[in-house]
Homo-oligomer: A and B are copies of this chain.
Amino acid sequence: MECGATAEQVRQVLETLGSAGVRAQVQDGAEALHILAPHASKALKPDRLETMGGVRKVVPITSPFKLASSDSAPGRTIVDVRGVKVGGPGLALVAGPCGVESRDQLFATARYVAEAGVKLLRAGAFKPRTSPYSFQGLGLEGLKLLEEARAEFDLGIVTEATELETFDAVERTADLIQIGARNMQNFALLKRAGRSEKPVLLKRGPSATLEEWLYAAEYVLSEGNRNVILCERGIRTWSDHARNTLDVSVVPAAKALTHLPIMVDPSHATGRRDLVIPCARAGVAAGAHGLLVETHCQPEKALSDGPQALLPSDFLQLVHQCRAIHAVLREATVPTGLAF
A residues apposed to B, CB below 8 Å: 38-39, 64, 66, 128-133, 162-165, 182-183, 185-188, 206-207, 209-212, 215, 218-219, 222, 235-242, 245-253, 256, 269-270, 272-275, 277-279, 281-287, 313-314, 317, 320-321, 324-325, 327-329, 331-335, 337-340
Contact = CB atoms under 8 A, between A and B. Distances in A.
Given A128-B185, A242-B253, A275-B249, A313 B340 contact: no
Contacts of A163: 164, 186-188
Given A283-B282, A321-B332, A332-B320, A249 B238 contact: no
Nearest to A216: B130
23 contacts: A38-B133, A130-B185, A130-B215, A131-B215, A133-B222, A162-B188, A164-B188, A207-B207, A207-B236, A209-B238, A235-B239, A245-B249, A246-B249, A274-B339, A275-B339, A277-B338, A278-B339, A279-B286, A281-B285, A313-B335, A317-B333, A317-B334, A324-B332
Q: How many copies of the chain does the oligomer comprise?
A: 4
Nearest to A334: B317
Given A238-B238, A249-B242, A252-B274, A132 B218 contact: yes
Contacts of A132: 38-39, 187, 215, 218-219, 222
A279 B328 contact: no
A164 B129 CA distance: 19
A207 B206 contact: yes
A273 B256 CA distance: 12
Nearest to A281: B285
A129 B38 CA distance: 16
A245 B206 CA distance: 14
